[in-house]
Each structure stands twice: as structure tokens, then as C-alpha cells.
């Protein structure tokens, strides 16, 4: 009963935020990017909530359970590359140039920057398809925590989560996403800290955790440990450097009110991002008290039920739901805009009134959410495997085009298109081969996608030079 009461209070709070946000919508720019007037605190905390979603809490715990303490390095690299460096290197220029071009989405910005409609269309299709896969991993994480902690069936848990998110996104747009993300970020931070302290206490302290893991396998307390350098480094890079090409996170730079306040936001996002270390750490701890789980994705939910009181478990349940909902909501906005604005309006040249465009966006948000829901009812693989698959495809497509768009203005649309096609196809082929040598498909994907841009710089008469 405690779980349900806390959860219902939380859900009602999200619905109210959605309703209040809907009253502030003045047009499409408000729906897509909050009218470019969101403050640094809300932007930074919602960035953390969207970045470190239920995928991190549940999936990161599964990796910590499987590979041990070495996975904490993934969280540390997340903070350095995915938060601090991303905000310093990419944030100011994205805010500056998207404002100058009047663009509100990633495909639109790339299309305008390179003067290519083909770039806009290709980016919108890739983003739309692979964000649906990413959404499946998010719903799967929320489903597992409900399943273990509350006793609700996995299917009912996934459906409930999806319905609440679809409601507040459809009525409130980006303002609802960013403000619920701000609220959810604080819930997530508090919940992870609560679980960490309780887990260390239950395990008998840090020294006991270390010796217990060493007794199971010495590789669980060393680096790179049982995973190996190739797997550890390549995965850390995809979930850190890959952020630079992920539209649901980059869009935060579109919406912040000015370049000047990005400095404040950088400090906030760095401190808040430190929670990325905790799920991996808790997953490793769970290995000492839950030695034989049938599915590593159940490590964090089962640990929660073991070490926390019903009230504490309810708070942590809200934290996981908060993390998942924040990211899922961000993805819905990006996926719907990639179809309505980038594919239909800009790509195909179809005229839509602002009112009709907003209606279509709301409808597409619901359709994308339902498609993700249907797949999540019988999801494949581990959560972080799904996450990494979608991130590899999208980041290999968008990362270099975004960076060169804001730092080097001499590349052509042909250069960008070659980079996107080569990067995405290389990542997908590599992953379909089972990630040879333990290297994730993201690594060869971003390496190959950089070649057209490097060629256009180094070789004056190359095919890719204007």
C-alpha cells in the first residue's frame, strides 16, 4: 500500500506539471524548445535526468553486477565527457548557431548548416527509428522495478508508465518535459543516495564488499577486470561521447535562455552528473548479497526490496520512474518533431499552420509512445544492450556533423551525407557481427564517419570538398 500511495502522489504531481505547462504554450517554439527561455538550473537538472535514466539505474546496476567495480569508470567518464566537456565544447556554439539559423531540431540545424535537404531527411529518419528502440529500453527498466518492488505485472507496469508520460508530453510539450525533468532529477538524486547508503550498510561496509567480491572473482575488484579493456573503454565512450550526438540531450542547449548562463549550468550538471557512479556501484554490491540472480537486470530492483523499508523502497521506485519518464518524454518530443517538422514540413515542403503542426506533433508523440510500448511488452536483450545499440546508430550519424557544423564552416552537404551514411551503416554492421574483439560498434562507427570531414580538410580536390 505504501508503494502505491507514494507512486500515485508522484504521478499526480507529474500530471499537474503537464497541465500547468500547457497553459504556457504560446506557439511551436514553446512546444519544441520552451521558447529558448529556460534557466540554467532547470536545464542542467533536466539534462541529468534525461541522460541518466532508468536505463542507467537498472541497466548500469546489471553491468555492475556482471562486471564488478571496474564499471564505476563508466560513470566517471560519463561525468567528464558526457556532462562537463559536452557543456563546455558543444553547448555555447549550439545555442549561438541554432538561434542564428532559427532552427528548433537537430535535423533542421544540420540541413540548414550544410544547405542540404537530403541531410535533413536522413537525420530525421535515423533519429525517429532508433529513438523508438531507445524508448523500449527505458520502458523495460521501469517495468522491472515495478515488477520486483511493487509486485505489479511487468506488462501492467509498462502500460501505466507509458500512459502517464504520453499524457503530459502531449498536452505540455517541451516545457512539460523540462519542468517534469527538473522535478524528476531531484527525486532521482535523492533516491540513488538513499539506496547507496542502505546497500553499504546491509553489505557490512566497503571493506566487506571488497573482500566478498574478491572471493567471488578477483576480476570483480580490478580494472579492467572480467570485462577487459576493449569492452570497458568502448562502452564508456558510447555512453559518454555518444551524448554529443543524442538529440534529446543536445536540444537542452537550444532551449537555455542565453550563452552566458551556460557557465552556471555546466557547474550544476557536473555535480549532478556524479550520481552516474552510483548504479554501477550498487550493482556490484548486489553481487555480494544476491549471488545467483536469473537476470542481472533484476539486481537493483531486488536489492531495493531487500535493503529499504517500504517507504524507502517507494521513494526509490519513484526515482527510477522519474529517471525513465524524463528520458522517455524527451525522446517523444524529438521523435515527433523529426517527422512533423523535419520530414513533412521542411523535407517534403508541406505547408502546415502552427496549430495543425502542434496537433500533428501531439498525435505523433502518442503514436511513437504506443509503438515503443508494444515492443516493450516483449523486449529483447539486456537494457543497456538496447540502449547502446540505439545510441551507437544515432551518435555515429549525428556526432561529427554537429561538431563540424559549429566549428568548421567549409564542409559541404555531400561531406555531411557521406559521414552520416558511413557512420550509421558501419556501426550497424559491426554490431550485427557481434562487436568483434569486444569493441562496440560505436567506435568504428564514429571513426569511419569522421573520414569524409577529414578528407575535405586535408585533400583539396577530394570528392567531399565544395
Ranges of the chain whose pLDDT falls below 50: 464-466
* Phi, psi of 189, rounded to the nearest 5 degrees: -60, -45
The C-alpha cell 504506443 sits at 370
Q: Where are the alpha helices (DSSP H) in 85-150?
A: 86-89, 91-101, 106-114, 117-145
pLDDT attached to residue 418: 95
Specify which residues 38 forms β-bridges with.
256
* Torsion region of 225: left, alpha or beta (phi above 0 gives left; psi -120 to 50 gives alpha): left
pLDDT attached to residue 89: 93
The ranges assigned to domains in the chain are 2-384
CA distance 401 to 339: 20
Rounded to two decimals, what is the model's pTM?
0.81
pLDDT attached to residue 265: 93
Hey, how many other C-beta atoms are within 10 angstroms of the C-beta on 292? 5
pLDDT per residue as tens digits for the range 292-324: 888 888 898 889 888 888 888 777 777 667 666
Decide: 104 and 33 in contact? Cβ < 8 Å. Answer: yes
Tell me how many degrees the CA angle 225-229-232 measures, rounded to the nearest 5.
80
Q: Structurally, what CATH architecture does the domain formed by 2-384 represent?
A: Up-down Bundle (1.20)
Answer positive or negative: Cα dihedral of 434, 436, 442, 444.
Answer: negative
What percent of the chain has pLDDT above 70?
A: 86
Amino acid at each position: 500500500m505504501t508503494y502505491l500511495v507514494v507512486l500515485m502522489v508522484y504521478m499526480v504531481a507529474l500530471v499537474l506539471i503537464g497541465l500547468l505547462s500547457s497553459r504556457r504554450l504560446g506557439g511551436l517554439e514553446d512546444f519544441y524548445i520552451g521558447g529558448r527561455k529556460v534557466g540554467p538550473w532547470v536545464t542542467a537538472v533536466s539534462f541529468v535526468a534525461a541522460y541518466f535514466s532508468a536505463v542507467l539505474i537498472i541497466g548500469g546496476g546489471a553491468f555492475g553486477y556482471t562486471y564488478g567495480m571496474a564499471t564505476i569508470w563508466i560513470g566517471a567518464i560519463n561525468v567528464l565527457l558526457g556532462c562537463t566537456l559536452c557543456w563546455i565544447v558543444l553547448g555555447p556554439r549550439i545555442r549561438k548557431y541554432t538561434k542564428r539559423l532559427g532552427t528548433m531540431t537537430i535535423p533542421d540545424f544540420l540541413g540548414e548548416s550544410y544547405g542540404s535537404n537530403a541531410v535533413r531527411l536522413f537525420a530525421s529518419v535515423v533519429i525517429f527509428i532508433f529513438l523508438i528502440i531507445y524508448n523500449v529500453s527505458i520502458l523495460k527498466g521501469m517495468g522491472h522495478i515495478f515488477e520486483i518492488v511493487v509486485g505489479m505485472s511487468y506488462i501492467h507496469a509498462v502500460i501505466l508508465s507509458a500512459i502517464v508520460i504520453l499524457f503530459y508530453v502531449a498536452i505540455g510539450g517541451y516545457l512539460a518535459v523540462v519542468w517534469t525533468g527538473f522535478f524528476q532529477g531531484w527525486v532521482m538524486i535523492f533516491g540513488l543516495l538513499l539506496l547507496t547508503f542502505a546497500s553499504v550498510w546491509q553489505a557490512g561496509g566497503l571493506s566487506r564488499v571488497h573482500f566478498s567480491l574478491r572471493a567471488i572473482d578477483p576480476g570483480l575488484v580490478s580494472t579492467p577486470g572480467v570485462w577487459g579493456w576493449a569492452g570497458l573503454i568502448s562502452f564508456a565512450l558510447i555512453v559518454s561521447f555518444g551524448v554529443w550526438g543524442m538529440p534529446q540531450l543536445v536540444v537542452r542547449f537550444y532551449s537555455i535562455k542565453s550563452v552566458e548562463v551556460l557557465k552556471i549550468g555546466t557547474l550544476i550538471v557536473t555535480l549532478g552528473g556524479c550520481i552516474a557512479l552510483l548504479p554501477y556501484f550498487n550493482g556490484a554490491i548486489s553481487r555480494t548479497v544476491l549471488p545467483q540472480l536469473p537476470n542481472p537486470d533484476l539486481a537493483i530492483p531486488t536489492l531495493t526490496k531487500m535493503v529499504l523499508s517500504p517507504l524507502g523502497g517507494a521513494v526509490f521506485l519513484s526515482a527510477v520512474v522519474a529517471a525513465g519518464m524524463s528520458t522517455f518524454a524527451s525522446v517523444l518530443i524529438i521523435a515527433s518533431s523529426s517527422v512533423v517538422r523535419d520530414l513533412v514540413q521542411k523535407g517534403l515542403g508541406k505547408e502546415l499552420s502552427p496549430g495543425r503542426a502542434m496537433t500533428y506533433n501531439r498525435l505523433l508523440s502518442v503514436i511513437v509512445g504506443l509503438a515503443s510500448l508494444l515492443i516493450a511488452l516483449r523486449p529483447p536483450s539486456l537494457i543497456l544492450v538496447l540502449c547502446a545499440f540505439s545510441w551507437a546508430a544515432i551518435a555515429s550519424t549525428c556526432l561529427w556533423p554537429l561538431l563540424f557544423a559549429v566549428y568548421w564552416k567549409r564542409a559541404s552537404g555531400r561531406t555531411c551525407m557521406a559521414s552520416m551514411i558511413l557512420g550509421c551503416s558501419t556501426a550497424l554492421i559491426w554490431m550485427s557481427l557481434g562487436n568483434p574483439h569486444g569493441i562496440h560498434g560505436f567506435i568504428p562507427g564514429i571513426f569511419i564517419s569522421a573520414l569524409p570531414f577529414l578528407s575535405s580538410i586535408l585533400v583539396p580536390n577530394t570528392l567531399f570538398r565544395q
